[in-house]
Chains A and B, each alone.
Chain A
Amino acid sequence: MQKPMRMEDLKGWEPAFWLAWKKYRLAYAFVLPALIAIGLVILYPLFSVVVTSFERYHLLEILTKGPTYIGFANYVEILKDPEFWYSLGITMYFTAACVILTILAGLAVALLLNLEFPGHKVLSVAILIPWVMPRVASSILWKWIYDDQFGILNYLLTLLGFKGMASYAWLAHTSSALWAVIIVVVWQSFPFIAVSLLAALQSIPAELYEAAMIDGASPWQRLRFITLPLLRNLLGVLTVISTIWDFKAFDQMWVLTEGGPAGGTMILGIHTWMNAFAYLRMGRASALAVIMLLLVTAITLFYLKIFNREEE
């Protein structure tokens, strides 16, 4: 039998809660629709992927017997799987190469655009093109550029004297396929870095450079002791953002190689997707997704640390 509820029972919490709601009602009315939408399409899936990662959930078996709880078995299997470790290694290699090259290229282009030479305006619009093209469109375009027989890249390389490259199949060898995708990713992401850095460069007072020049500082010293220290925070943030973007890159790799040849460019994103939608092992794929999530969280925590430092 349930005891009838009395008003006194509610005294402890209800008024405080209700008062808060009344006080901030208007604020919540503005914010809640979006928060509910985000909760439904992000929080719930996140919760559910963790649950599924502890289950045996095979898409074909699910029709007959439903998921069964199997504890950490999916994780144990993954950690014993050499394919996973290979994929993790490739992912780290791919991400690191993309980030380092993107930041260096972005910084170089930003420094170039910061010089006042006739034509810098044209150039600053031109560099936006790689960024504007849809990821899938530019991946398809680069696949055509990399074409072994009629691709323009091999033609240009033979013109430059690399006769051996005349019909080299870039996407058919593991190491060159990985680098081919790295180049596409860097090509697409350097404009963002360059534009961000250029904005920061232009806010550095010219007097700093003039003073340094009077003191006889060489261009290299001006870069090393004035520009880079002033850009340090932004460079840090951009590095972390790039790391996260390149870690989750999927489209370019999928269009260019589909993880091939023979699984040679199977980065974690594609490895997870294949487990879920090619082998239909949803439980195992969910565990992989959770592992990816933990890796991204580690990077994000680092990002938040920088973000909070800048807020203060």
Chain B
Amino acid sequence: MGRIRFRKRNIPALFFIYLAAFIVFFVSVFPFCWMLSTSFKRPEDTFTSVPKLIPPQFTLENYRRAFQDTLLGRYFVNSIYVASIVTLTGIVLSTLAAYGFSRFRFPGRKACLLFILCIQMLPSVVIIIPLFIVMRNLNALNNHWSLLVSYPTFTLPLSVWMLKGFFDEIPREMEEVAQIDGCSVPAAFFRVILPLTLPGITASGIYAFIGAWNEFLFAMTFLNSHELYTMPVGLNAFFGQFTVEWNQLMAASVFFTIPSLIFFMLVRKYLARGMAGGALKG
């Protein structure tokens, strides 16, 4: 079922399919390869009239200098710190809420679910102004707290919807059996349901992590000292310098992309389910 077969001997068709496949492949992969290539090149091999994809002289110097001459290491630690805390608190809140929405029928359930779905449509620019005023009044500007508080605005709604989908798939009989055996509702949740949905919880946690890892607007607005910058803001600040060190910047970008890449590949098989909630892409 599904995939369309075609006759193997249809040479013109095969030619056009491979031509199209090559174009799609090139467009998707080439920019990434170009980033890798630039990050491993010496500056004198970068600024030439005939660019080369394979570095003539392979070097790790750009990575070394990116870490030594800039605060890249600091940005990395900040990003890990912020994203981890946002992910952990998000997992707790959204797992409980998703279970509640999946298993109980109560007044206001549908309205809350629709509201949570709608939140994903909110442009960050809309809530960033009042959040900025609140943070200023609380003296939380230029402090990681401002990010820890504001990132759930985009991680929570996605996680709740995604996890609700996972809980919906587990038959209710699972808890009923546990309850007949003498478990209370919370005990059945923690001992029976939670272990079963652990892969789903991990997947939604990873999405939250990637979302927080990539976030730019809040971090740019709320932070202004370089020591506190997260990766995206820190990398963008490279442009403030007099000349742009493209080699170092590409090395830093590779370093910024790798965690996202690894995590994404881990949750690839859950992609389709995350989409059911209607909003991935951070």
Residues on A lying within 8 angstroms of B by beta carbon are 20, 24, 26-31, 33-35, 37-38, 41-42, 44-46, 48-49, 52, 108-109, 112, 114-117, 119-120, 122-123, 126-138, 140-142, 144-145, 147, 149-150, 152, 155, 187, 189, 191-192, 195-196, 199, 201-206, 209, 237, 241, 244-245, 247-248, 250-251, 254-255, 269, 272-273, 276-277, 282, 285-286, 289-290, 292-293, 296-297, 299-300, 303-304, 307
Do B121 and A20 touch (CB < 8 A)?
Answer: no
Do B2 and A33 touch (CB < 8 A)?
Answer: no
Indicate if B38 sits at the interface (CB-CB under 8 A).
yes
What 4 pairs across the A-B complex have the smallest Cβ distances? A30-B100, A27-B104, A34-B97, A248-B123
The verdict on A136 contacting B25 (CB below 8 Å), with A155-B51, A206-B2 known, is no
Known: A152-B51, A248-B122. 13 other contacts (CB 8 A): A31-B96, A31-B104, A45-B129, A48-B133, A115-B4, A116-B5, A133-B257, A136-B236, A140-B236, A144-B38, A150-B246, A276-B128, A276-B132
Residues on B lying within 8 angstroms of A by beta carbon are 1-6, 14, 17-18, 20-21, 24-25, 27-29, 31-32, 34-35, 38, 46-48, 50-51, 92-94, 96-97, 99-101, 103-107, 109, 112, 114, 116-119, 121-134, 149-150, 152-153, 156-157, 160, 185, 213-214, 216-217, 220-221, 231-232, 235-236, 238-239, 246, 249-250, 253, 256-257, 260-261, 264-265, 268, 271-272, 275, 278-282
- Nearest-CB distance from B90 to chain A (Å)? 9
Do A137 and B24 touch (CB < 8 A)?
Answer: no
CA distance A244 to B123 in the complex (A): 8
Of A127, A142, A195, the residue contacting B24 (CB under 8 A) is: A127
**CB-nearest residue of chain A relative to B48?**
A150
Do B275 and A196 touch (CB < 8 A)?
Answer: yes
Do A45 and B131 touch (CB < 8 A)?
Answer: yes
Of A28, A31, A201, A276, the residue contacting B2 (CB under 8 A) is: A201
**CB-nearest residue of chain B relative to A304?**
B114
CA distance A277 to B275 in the complex (A): 34
**CB-nearest residue of chain A relative to B120?**
A244
Q: Summarize A's interface: helix, strand, loop or mixed.
A: helix
CA distance A87 to B265 in the complex (A): 38
Do A251 and B31 touch (CB < 8 A)?
Answer: no
Do B127 and A250 touch (CB < 8 A)?
Answer: no
Do A140 and B253 touch (CB < 8 A)?
Answer: yes
Do A48 and B130 touch (CB < 8 A)?
Answer: yes
Most A C-beta atoms less than 10 A away, residue of B101, B103, B128: B128
Of A42, A115, A199, A307, the residue contacting B122 (CB under 8 A) is: A42
**CB-nearest residue of chain B relative to A250?**
B217
